[in-house]
Amino acid sequence: MASYLSRQALAGLRVVEIRGGLAASVAGRALTALGAAVSVVRLREQAERGEVEVGLAPGKQVVDASELDPRLAEADAVLLAGDYLDLRDAALLPAELRSRAPRAVLGYATPFGLTGPLREWRGGELVELHASGIARLLLGPVPDLDEFPPVKTYGDQGAFVGGLTLAAGVATALHGGGSHVVDVSIQEALASIAVHELARPALGETLTSRSGDATIGNATVMILPTTDGLVAVSPRETHQWDVWAEYMGSPAWALEPGMREVEKRQQRYTEVYPYLLAWSRQRTTDEIYRESQALHIPAFPLQPPGNLLGNEGLAERGFFIGAEAEGKPVTIPAHPFGLLDETPVPLASREKVDPAGLPLEGLRVLDFSWVIAGPTCTRFLAAMGADVIKVEAPKRPDPARVGALHPVLGQGKRSLALDLKAPEGRQIALDLVRRSDVLVENFAAGVMDRLGLGWEELAEVNPKLIYISLSGMGRKGPDAGMVAYGTLVQAFSGFSAVNGFPNRQPTIGWAWTDPVCALVMTTAVAAALRQRDRTGNGCRVDTSMVETMLWTLSAP
């Protein structure tokens, strides 16, 4: 039985990527990384997109425009991106394209979707980011609204979010059967990153203010200058703060009443920040990073992406690969799906079956995840028809239940409070595992294993189980034990360093990592289901937050 998701999970699928918007290239790379045969067709002369295109090229075959119709006739999926009007003028909208690709899932990523009053509006990175509302949240609060207006993200984040959404939708539609149209609005895909903000009006809350100073961080994620750089530290939980206070030498201010609670600590954050500053400026970044992690306090350097090219953990996991750009060797990220198995997967029948309902109807998902990334993935699965059961500890429920996250991410799910440390609770969990298809978890390394719910144990209970894990650095490798949150990964991966204003200290900003990882996880679920259909066995998926973020920054 293959342990991990296979590089050939989507083998046998024929995908045509019609060169246009970058989102289609992102989706094509995600599918070819999992074994699909992707043909890229250029219908007209188009400018090269430089380094980012090099990162999305591996595994694809570029063919002449004269081969388009023969490829469409045999295609299982077609990927298109760009402005609606350009697609219309090229006769590439579903009404015209369906007769040329009769069996294919037609996947579109356009600025504002194929339907609705805005569909003819022109887009682009700057337009889509601002139209979604995410641009105003990207960098966090600023001290002067006129001097620091909302900005776009570094690179092509809109295309990566739109492209990963397209890949997840197309892969799921292919699993469900039928010749569907997948219609992705990049505006909507980006807006969904702000799940907390979207829920505020319905809950009677005010929108997040842009006034403030995010350069110092907050009580949840502190940004501390050191002797040689910046470090982001997040002792957000009470027990973490207790250890952190002791690490700092137990200063009186850190032990005052109320400081143990993050909400109360936030009220005094600007008051106590100078004390933190005086302490951190006497230490190096690496010293605070390494010593904090040794104490199980989440901490990472805030650094540029290039610092990770020599990272031993990424090297051991095979994340970086060689490529060529303008005749010169370069290093690029491989893909965002973590460790992949080399075991070949049998080819499936190409007969199409028109499903009666949503593509994931009949699928049962056990959701052991919490906060944002995992629950976002399972929310997507529920929206596509899966029966999702959210499992929480009675004495330690999902922190997202306090605030606006759970009302959004908890939709369409059933829930169960289960004491997994009690024999009866564990037995109930095992009974559910026997009757489930997918398990999703994003706990710290070792937590599920200590509960007797790790991959090896559960594969014995249910050999058909698909086990999806997300962690900061991946479940395997020398850094697997690192304690991480998505916002800290933004600092470590370089995302924070490359976004912002010149000559201004970088900020953590909005929680970007988690929802992007959720799209990768959702795509992996669909690929794993196809693999299981052909092998009869489940598999594990080991996704890494830092690898996902680096992949979206993929310019060599």
Show which residues are catalytic: 514
User: Do the beta carbons of residue 145 and residue 211 sit within 8 Å?
Assistant: yes
Residue 82's nearest CA partner among 42, 128, 145, 24 is 24
User: Do the beta carbons of residue 527 and residue 2 sit within 8 Å?
Assistant: no
User: Do the beta carbons of residue 320 and residue 310 sit within 8 Å?
Assistant: no
Determine the distance from the C-alpha atom of residue 150 to the mean position of all C-alpha atoms in its chain, rounded to a whole number. 23
Residue 454's nearest CA partner among 444, 464, 446, 466 is 446
Structure tokens at 324: 């060529």
Separation between Cα atoms, residue 100 and residue 442, nearest integer Å: 42
Which residue type occupies 389? I
Separation between Cα atoms, residue 453 and residue 463, nearest integer Å: 14
Structure tokens at 453: 């719910």
Helix H or strand E segment including 85: helix 84-89
Ordered alpha helix ranges (H), 412-466: 423-434, 447-450, 455-461
* Sheet with 230-233: strands ordered across: 222-225, 230-233, 299-301
Structure tokens at 447: 């937590």
User: Do the beta carbons of residue 80 and residue 98 sit within 8 Å?
Assistant: no
Tokens 């680096």 found at: 550
| Contacts for 520 with CB less than 8 Å, ≥ 6 apart | 30, 164, 336, 337, 543, 548
Helix H or strand E segment including 27: helix 22-33
232 forms beta bridges with 223, 300
Separation between Cα atoms, residue 430 and residue 321, nearest integer Å: 39
